[in-house]
């Protein structure tokens, strides 16, 4: 934990994050500011305000609380949000989701290669290893970065610079993706998007909203208590499952996401699905909107002056990735939602992808989670090929 921060106690940090969320949603309903929040919706402020608190030294960029929230709030939220999903509607968006997931992987691979080629003169001698490790993180996650370091037998001291670049670039990109959710309509017009698949999901949700009734105390206790109990049980079960692959492809966190989404889909075919009529999905959004500030708080802008070479190369990689994702989405006439989900499924992984997806279409957070899980698998194999290419460019 960052002891230099003004507030370091986990419960006090949680109180700050909760207060930030409460203030943002309250202010967003105030008449004179409704126009501002129409341009920059609450979800954008939920990410950036905690980042400013961290950069100002009020709360730390690293705390046990953040890991706890990802560990339990994410499965809690995914379970409740998945209950409202119509599996038939999900199947309709499977193809575009796969297209943009693979597009995200391909564009990161090409972006890393191009940025290394352009910056290899200023990167350290082992820069090809560093960029290979960043590619592993951005096509899978931090565990993939560690696996790549082991594969390449890279000097562990390289991690200092890479962690800074990885944190600033990936969290900065996540923030931009979330901010872009405020401009979905113009983006979709630019992309010439065909909204049919997403409209079907919206129709299912509208039907559920039509049957909405006031929740009783018993309903609320069942939703919160039941989802919390299942989330904790699933997380404990996932911890006991063996990792898959060497290096690890499916970790305990990945198992937890797979199990909880599968469980949610199964329950959506049972009478438990009727909990949507009393607002079960609202509690799912509550979990996500409390989790989002904890993600934003991890990005400390004070670190932006460190590791400038990797920051430059990483920024170039993400810029190329963004341009290529826009081009591919336009070619296939896919809505901006798929760019966000496909991009963050690679760059952010299973923890961040559902948050990014929810910023665009809250009901489709489980799709983001599933794409993030697939990103973990791609993050093992693709960076190995990238490392071979970068080694060749480095003249090794």
Whether 114 shows a pLDDT value over 50: the answer reads yes
Q: Best-predicted range by mean pLDDT among 125-134, 279-288, 316-325?
A: 316-325
pLDDT tier, 250 (very low <50, low <70, confident <90, very high otherwise): low
> What is the C-alpha separation between 51 and 293, in angstroms, rounded?
8
Cβ(304)–Cβ(311) below 8 Å: yes
Only one residue has tokens 């500030």, namely 293
- pLDDT score recorded for residue 160: 67
Q: Which residue has the higher pLDDT, 143 or 293?
A: 293
pLDDT tier, 336 (very low <50, low <70, confident <90, very high otherwise): very high
Whether 274 shows a pLDDT value over 80: the answer reads yes
Q: Best-predicted range by mean pLDDT among 60-69, 209-218, 260-269?
A: 60-69
Q: Which residue has the higher pLDDT, 54 or 371?
A: 54
Whether 252 shows a pLDDT value over 90: the answer reads no
Mean pLDDT for 362-377 is 76
Please name every residue paired with 250 in a beta bridge, in sequence order, or none if there are none: 244
- pLDDT score recorded for residue 248: 55
- pLDDT score recorded for residue 1: 46
- The angle that helices 142-152 and 159-179 make with each other, rounded to 10 degrees, is 150
Mean pLDDT for 165-184 is 88
Residue 73 CA: distances (Å) to CA of 29, 148, 260, 378: 26, 29, 12, 25
Mean pLDDT for 307-333 is 93
What's the predicted TM-score (pTM) here?
A: 0.72
For 300, phi and psi rounded to 5 degrees? Answer: -100, 110
Only one residue has tokens 């037998």, namely 153
Pull the structure tokens for residue 242: 């063996």
Span 310-321, pLDDT tens digits: 999 999 999 999
Q: Give domain status of residue 93, yes or no.
A: yes
Q: Give domain status of residue 230, yes or no.
A: yes
Q: Which residue has the higher pLDDT, 318 or 247?
A: 318
Q: Give domain status of residue 242, yes or no.
A: yes
Q: How many domains does the chain have?
A: 1
Give the whole-number percent of the chain exceeding pLDDT 90: 31
Please name every residue paired with 244 in a beta bridge, in sequence order, or none if there are none: 250
Whether 81 shows a pLDDT value over 90: the answer reads no
Burial track 358-375 (b if 16+ CB lie within 10 A, e otherwise): bbbbbbbbbbbbbbbbbb
Helix extents (H) in the chain: 10-27, 34-39, 42-55, 64-82, 87-92, 94-119, 127-138, 142-152, 159-179, 184-191, 196-210, 217-240, 252-267, 280-296, 308-332, 336-347, 353-360, 365-393
Whether 227 shows a pLDDT value over 50: the answer reads yes
Q: Give domain status of residue 46, yes or no.
A: no
Q: Which residue has the higher pLDDT, 69 or 369?
A: 69
Q: Give domain status of residue 55, yes or no.
A: no
User: Which residue range is the domain that position 214 belongs to?
Assistant: 65-393
Q: Give domain status of residue 376, yes or no.
A: yes
Q: Give domain status of residue 304, yes or no.
A: yes
pLDDT tier, 382 (very low <50, low <70, confident <90, very high otherwise): confident
Mean pLDDT for 117-128 is 90
Give me the long-range contacts of 263-266 (CB less than 8 A, separation at least 24).
263/79, 263/82, 263/230, 263/234, 264/78, 264/79, 264/80, 264/81, 264/82, 264/83, 264/85, 264/366, 265/82, 265/85, 265/87, 265/366
pLDDT tier, 27 (very low <50, low <70, confident <90, very high otherwise): very high
> What is the C-alpha separation between 378 and 375, in angstroms, rounded?
5
- pLDDT score recorded for residue 53: 94
Instruction: Give the length of the chain.
Output: 396
Q: Which residue has the higher pLDDT, 155 or 18?
A: 18
What's the mean pLDDT when you consider all of the chain?
A: 84
Q: In this structure, is the dihedral angle defined by the CA atoms of residues 52, 53, 58 and 61, taken in order, positive or negative?
A: negative
- pLDDT score recorded for residue 255: 83
> What is the C-alpha separation between 256 and 103, in angstroms, rounded?
26
Whether 184 shows a pLDDT value over 80: the answer reads yes
> What is the C-alpha separation between 264 and 300, in angstroms, rounded?
35
Mean pLDDT for 256-277 is 85
Q: Give domain status of residue 20, yes or no.
A: no
What DSSP state is assigned to residue 124? -
32-36, 112-116, 117-121, range with the lowest pLDDT: 32-36
Span 30-47, pLDDT tens digits: 888 877 876 677 877 888
């Amino acid at each position: 934990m960052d002891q230099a921060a003004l507030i370091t106690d986990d419960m006090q940090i949680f109180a700050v994050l909760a207060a930030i969320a409460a203030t943002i949603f309250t202010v967003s309903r105030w008449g004179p500011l409704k126009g501002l929040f129409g341009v920059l919706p609450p979800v954008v402020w939920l990410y950036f305000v905690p980042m400013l608190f961290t950069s100002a030294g009020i709360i730390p960029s690293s705390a046990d609380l953040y890991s706890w929230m990802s560990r339990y709030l994410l499965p809690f939220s995914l379970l409740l949000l998945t209950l409202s999903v119509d599996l038939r509607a999900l199947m309709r968006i499977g193809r575009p989701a796969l297209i943009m997931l693979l597009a995200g992987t391909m564009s990161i691979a090409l972006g890393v290669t191009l940025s290394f080629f352009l910056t290899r003169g200023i990167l350290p001698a082992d820069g090809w290893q560093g960029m290979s490790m960043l590619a592993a993180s951005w096509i899978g996650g931090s565990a993939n970065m560690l696996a790549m370091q082991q594969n390449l037998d890279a000097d562990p001291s390289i991690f200092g610079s890479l962690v800074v670049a990885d944190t600033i670039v990936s969290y900065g990109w996540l923030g931009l993706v979330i901010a872009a959710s405020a401009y979905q309509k113009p983006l979709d017009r630019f992309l010439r998007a065909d909204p049919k698949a997403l409209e079907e999901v919206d129709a299912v949700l509208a039907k559920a909203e039509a049957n909405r009734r006031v929740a009783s105390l018993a309903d609320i206790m069942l939703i919160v208590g039941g989802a919390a109990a299942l989330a904790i049980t699933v997380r404990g079960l996932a911890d006991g499952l063996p990792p898959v692959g060497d290096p690890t492809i499916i970790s305990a966190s990945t198992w937890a996401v797979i199990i909880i989404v599968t469980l949610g889909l199964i329950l959506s075919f049972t009478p438990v699905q009727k909990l949507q009529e009393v607002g079960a999905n609202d509690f799912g959004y509550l979990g996500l909107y409390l989790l989002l500030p904890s993600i934003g708080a991890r990005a400390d802008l004070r670190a932006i002056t460190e590791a400038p070479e990797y920051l430059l190369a990483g920024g170039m990689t993400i810029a190329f990735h963004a341009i290529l994702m826009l081009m591919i989405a336009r070619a296939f006439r896919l809505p901006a939602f798929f760019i966000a989900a496909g991009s963050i499924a690679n760059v952010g992984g299973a923890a961040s992808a559902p948050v990014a997806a929810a910023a665009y279409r809250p009901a489709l957070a489980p799709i983001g989670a599933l794409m993030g899980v697939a990103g973990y698998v791609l993050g093992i194999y693709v960076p190995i090929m990238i490392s071979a290419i970068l080694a060749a460019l480095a003249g090794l």
